[in-house]
Amino acid sequence: MTVSPAEEHDDGTDDDLVIRPAEQADLLAVVRIENESFSQPWPYDAFDRFLGEPGFLVAVVDAQIAGYIVSDVTTSFGRQLGHVKDIAVHPDRRDMGVGSALLSRSIAVLAAHGADSIKLEVRRSNEGAKRLYRQFGFEPIRHVPGYYNNGEDAIIMVRQLE
């Protein structure tokens, strides 16, 4: 991805980057990135179930899937809860603003679908992701000891949208 200051947008991305809803044809590339990104990756079917969900978005750079985000809104006791369930960027495309662009669009989509707040879980050791979320106004609200299969704690982070 070439980023020259003249082409750069306010969010730090450039004209080669497109964020759009995920389609069936994207799923193999999505699963490949998932497998390269996580020790306990989601299987194909997990992504398949979210097709058609407005918060399932892919980032396309130079006609290739560079990353994705899976997010949705559910209702609980009259509250509309946004949830970021999964986000990853291809290892070769990291640190170029793709993750920020995905998160930014997801927040807009969840807000447009009535979310009052957005929650996510992050591994305690995942400093890069925690930094990204903090930049977008997410704040840690609690730890969940042993949340992940390897025994690692999760940190729950929340951003209010009202």
Ligand X SMILES: CC(C)(COP(=O)(O)OP(=O)(O)OC[C@H]1O[C@@H](n2cnc3c(N)ncnc32)[C@H](O)[C@@H]1OP(=O)(O)O)[C@@H](O)C(=O)NCCC(=O)NCCS
Name the site residues for ligand X (rule: CB under 6 A). Answer: 37, 87-89, 94-100, 122, 126-129, 131-132, 135
Which residue, 77 or 156, has its beta carbon nearer to ligand X? Answer: 156
Q: In whole angstroms, how close is the CB of 84 to ligand X at the nearest point?
A: 8
Which residue, 49 or 134, has its beta carbon nearer to ligand X? Answer: 134
Q: Which residue has the tokens 């969940």?
A: 144
Q: In whole angstroms, how close is the CB of 116 to ligand X at the nearest point?
A: 21
How many Å apart are CA 113 and CA 138, to the nearest integer? 19
Residue nearest to ligand X (CB): 99
Q: In whole angstroms, how close is the CB of 100 to ligand X at the nearest point?
A: 3
Q: Which residues pair with 58 in a beta bridge?
A: 20, 68
Which residue, 27 or 87, has its beta carbon nearer to ligand X? Answer: 87
How many Å apart are CA 71 and CA 106, to the nearest integer? 7
Q: In whole angstroms, how close is the CB of 20 to ligand X at the nearest point?
A: 17
Which residue, 1 or 161, has its beta carbon nearer to ligand X? Answer: 1
Which residue, 62 or 114, has its beta carbon nearer to ligand X? Answer: 62
Q: In whole angstroms, how close is the CB of 78 to ligand X at the nearest point?
A: 28
Query: Which pair of structure tokens corresponds to residue 72?
Result: 């949705």
